[in-house]
Amino acid sequence: MPYGIVLFALWGSALVPEIKEMLALKTNSVKETRADLRKVLFLGILFAAIIYLFFI
């Protein structure tokens, strides 16, 4: 099993609380923060998947 790939993938999960903090400073509503966080995570995963497909 390639441990480097797994560790690199898990490294991004450490950034989620920081993104949440940044979004909380931008908005006043918890609902807006949660919706924005979902958008950011979805777009980040989508972007990574598209880039990954270029190398297959």
Q: pLDDT digit string (tens) for 11-22?
A: 888 888 999 998
Distance CA 53, CA 35 (A): 27
Q: Which range marks the domain in which residue 43 is found?
A: 11-54
Domain membership flag for residue 6: no
Q: pLDDT per residue over 43-52, tens digit each?
A: 988 998 898 8
Domain count, the chain: 1
Q: Which residues contact 1 (CB under 8 A, 6 or more apart)?
A: none
| Residue 25 within any structural domain of the chain | yes
Residue 30 has pLDDT above 90, yes or no: no
Please report whether residue 5 resides in a domain.
no
Tell me the pTM. 0.71
Is residue 1 over pLDDT 70?
no
Cβ(23)–Cβ(37) below 8 Å: yes
Q: Give dist(CA 54, CA 6) in Å, integer.
A: 20
The per-residue pLDDT for 7 is 76
Instruction: Return the half-sphere exposure (C-beta side, CA atoms, 13 A cut-off) of residue 8.
Output: 5
In-domain check, residue 1: no
Confirm whether 37 is domain-assigned.
yes
